[in-house]
Structure 1
Amino acid sequence: MTVKPKRDIEKGYTNAEFAAKLRRLADSLETGDKFEIQIAGERVYVPVRAEYTVEHERSDDEEEIEFQIKWSPK
């Protein structure tokens, strides 16, 4: 198996693009299928066994909500 290089990027999307990605994710969750997404030129395959969390952070000058999807490669 090929070891993938480490990666830590953040990619911005328009409201319409983000909504479309969330809809595709929701469809995958409901049907029990893996989720595929392309981020900054790399296709990522999220397995059905992934874990989903929502994180909320607050500081003095901003708030943030992160929808997180985590899994271990097998």
Structure 2
Amino acid sequence: MKKASIVILYPYYMLFMRYSILVLFLFSYLPLLILTHNFPLFVEESLFFHLLLNNVKYYIDSEIMILIKINNYMNI
């Protein structure tokens, strides 16, 4: 029963992560662009965006590992 609840909550958790990534992008990267008046044609080419994506990917991977550990702990 507990294992099923984790599986059901997991997609909602990932959806929340996607919205938080969007909010983080809007409040960190766009003001930087407005202040510097430097609007690149391809946002992916900027170093700041690459660092942001790498950090977000690391946090998502670590949270997935935590969920797997919780799931294994409840099975024991």
TM-score (norm 1): 0.28
Q: Which has the higher helix share?
A: 2
Structure with max Cα Rg: 2
Higher-RCO chain (CA-CA 8 Å, sequence separation at least 6): 2
Q: Which has the higher strand share?
A: 1
